[in-house]
Amino acid sequence: MPVIAIASHNPVKLAATRQGFETAFPEQEFTFVPVTTASGVSEQPFSDQETLSGAEERARQASLALPDADYWVGIEGGVEEHPCGMAAFAWVVVRGTAQSGRGRSAAFFLPEAVAALVRQGVELGTADDMIFGRSNSKQANGAIGLLTGDLIDRAALYVPAVIMALIPFKNPELYPPPVESLVDEILISSDPAWLDLDAIHSFLSQHSYWAKGIPRGIVARSLANSICIGAYENGRQVGLARVVTDRSTYAYLSDVYVVEELRGQGLGKRLMQAVSGHPDLQDLRRWELLTRDAHGLYARYGFSPLAHPERHMEISRPNIYQPPEET
């Protein structure tokens, strides 16, 4: 019987996950196991990207907490400002042993009284309780239930997103798994669900020469808007290559690193091989990168000095993330 690890003890998320799986796969029986995780984002995610990152991180941590499960589910609710007001929604990430899927719930607009509290730093569930005179509504019907008179409650809002996240599992022939290889216990994968935001931020902000002091939120946005190839040793992030691209004509290679203790073992080459073989990065007109000391590695994959440097212009603000030294 397949085991589903759910990255929450919240009864709403448990119920939504159970109903979503049982609806998507009515012929199967499942065992559902809640596990304790952290989202890795702020208590109240304040954008679509931050909310998705929180769901990704919860699913990743669930896979570490219960590695023998068959599926790992992360659900994160968030808000985002729009011209019409503050919208609320949730992201669902489902990871499997060889596939992953994502689904987003419908969005609805919060009343201004609730939105004003959220803008002041109050978590949405707490703001709902304050305005509606309830207690712990986020583990019951939630804002959507309070506002619709339970025509739609929080679990019902989440169920379609769970089902949508399971689409790749129901149609594996249409959703090929991420680019992956496993050699000497090191996994190379393009699956964003594996990315460890804390590990990546720690390396870039503390150990890289190009992004010293970079804020965690900027790292999260950069990962969300790029193709990322990660290297993992027993689930631990030990390397990364990030590609900024339109997937049609241009790509910029950035944030390539391998942790110090694993350098000299060919991991940089394996990351570059995965980048070169990624199906969304074929037949591009131009690739670019900046490097201080790895010219030999990149030359193996076709990179060379600028043919026409006089045509290139830039706005460069080096070390903008590094706090100034005290004098």
The position carrying tokens 């978590």 is 123
Please count the structural domains in the chain.
2
95: nearest Cα among 38, 168, 31: 168
Tell me, yes or no, whether 224 lies in a domain: yes
Q: What is the pLDDT along the chain (327 residues), one digit of tens a residue?
A: 899 999 999 999 999 999 999 999 999 999 999 999 888 788 888 888 889 888 988 998 898 889 899 999 999 999 999 988 999 999 999 998 878 899 999 999 999 998 999 899 888 888 888 888 777 677 677 888 888 888 998 899 999 999 999 999 999 888 877 766 667 788 898 888 788 888 999 999 999 999 999 998 899 889 988 999 999 988 789 999 999 999 999 999 999 999 999 998 889 999 999 999 888 899 899 999 999 988 988 998 999 999 899 999 989 877 778 766 554
pTM over 0.75? The answer is no
Do 136 and 203 fall into the same domain?
A: no
Do 165 and 203 fall into the same domain?
A: no
Tell me, yes or no, whether 164 lies in a domain: yes
Q: For the chain, first and last CA: distance in Å?
A: 64
- Other Cβ atoms less than 10 A from the Cβ of 6: the count is 27
Do 55 and 129 fall into the same domain?
A: yes
8 A C-beta contact, residue 274 and residue 229: yes
Do 7 and 152 fall into the same domain?
A: yes
Sequence-distant (≥ 6) Cβ neighbours of residue 210 within 8 angstroms? 255, 290, 292
Pairing assessment for the beta strands 3-6 and 71-82 based on DSSP bridges: parallel
CATH of the domain at 189: 3.40.630.30
pLDDT computed for residue 325 by the predictor:
58
Do 281 and 201 fall into the same domain?
A: yes
Do 133 and 243 fall into the same domain?
A: no
8 A C-beta contact, residue 169 and residue 101: yes
Do 118 and 13 fall into the same domain?
A: yes
Tell me, yes or no, whether 319 lies in a domain: no
With DSSP H G I counted as helix, E B as strand and the rest as coil, what are the percentages for the chain, rounded to 5? Answer: 40, 25, 40
Tell me, yes or no, whether 126 lies in a domain: yes
Do 164 and 253 fall into the same domain?
A: no
Tell me, yes or no, whether 97 lies in a domain: yes
Residue 210 structure tokens: 């190009």
Tell me, yes or no, whether 150 lies in a domain: yes
Do 73 and 112 fall into the same domain?
A: yes
Do 260 and 225 fall into the same domain?
A: yes
Residue 125 Cα to chain centre, angstroms: 23
DSSP 8-state assignment for residue 103: E
Do 250 and 283 fall into the same domain?
A: yes
- Which domain range does residue 215 map to? 180-302
Residue 115 structure tokens: 């939105």
Amino acid code (one letter) for 199:
A
pLDDT computed for residue 327 by the predictor:
47
Torsion of CA 42, 53, 59, 99, to 10 degrees: 180
Q: What angle do CA 68, 72, 74 make, to 5 degrees?
A: 150
DSSP 49-78: HHHHHHHHHHHHHHHHHSTT-SEEEEEEEE
